Amino acid sequence: MDKIEKLKDGTEVTIRRLMMEDLDLLMEFFLALPMEDRKYLKFDVTDRKAVQRRLRRVESGDDIRVVAVHGGLIIASGALELSGEAWSKHQGEIRLIVARPFQQRGLGAIMIRELYFIAVQNNLQTIVAKMMRPQVGAQKIFRRLGFRDDSLMPDFVKDIKGGSQDLIVMTCDVKQLWKQLDRMFSESDWQRCR
């Protein structure tokens, strides 16, 4: 699946599936993230055993993860978590984190597009995104992609420091997501300049 993509500024990155052999690179990526970026993640990415457990989910097929690599380092990580439950097998939960030096350069949109293709291959109909209320930037991005706020659960989750946070659940129909991605890429200056 290795793909070479160009960011808005022309920087080339490789998008590929994450593998168990990437554990050390993945830990390096996570440990380099500022606390503000790690604070609202679903699990403690500085805990090597927790990261290994997540990688085992990739090996078992319960999760599909892609990474962006530049200069031999992981610079973004995205996941599509598949539900093994019969009543929600048509849904997948999307998650994404991009290293700060590569934010606002189009990498997030490229990663979401790759996760969209994976969702289609897995016959998903709905993509779910969950985030804490302080993650305003992520909410804006997902809304721009056609996600809608479906629920707000006050004080439902804890951030990495143990503080109570509201959980926002957003969903998007897979077909609607493609319309937004297609529009985004077709209107993008950096795509016209490639």
**Which structure tokens are listed for 15?**
């998008």
| 85 φ/ψ sector (left φ>0, alpha ψ -120 to 50, else beta) | beta
pLDDT in tens, 33-70: 999 999 999 889 999 999 999 999 888 888 899 999 99
Q: Which domain holds residue 122?
A: 3-192
Q: Shortest CA distance to 33 belongs to which of 97, 107, 111?
A: 97
Question: How far is residue 104's CA from residue 62's CA, in Å, rounded to a whole number?
Answer: 30
- Convert the pLDDT of each residue in 147-160 to its tens digit: 999 999 999 999 99
DSSP per-residue codes, 63-126: EEEEEEEETTEEEEEEEEEEP-SGGGTTEEEEEEEE-GGGTTTTHHHHHHHHHHHHHHHTT--E
Task: Considering only CA atoms, give the Rg of the chain.
Answer: 16
* Complete edge-to-edge strand list for the sheet that includes strand 63-70: 3-6, 12-17, 63-70, 73-82, 91-98, 126-132, 164-173, 148-158
Find the CATH number of the domain harbouring 88: 3.40.630.30
Count structural domains, the chain.
1
What is d(CA 143, CA 149) in angstroms, rounded to the nearest whole number? 8
- Looking at residue 62, its pLDDT comes to 83
Question: Quick check: pTM over 0.85?
Answer: yes
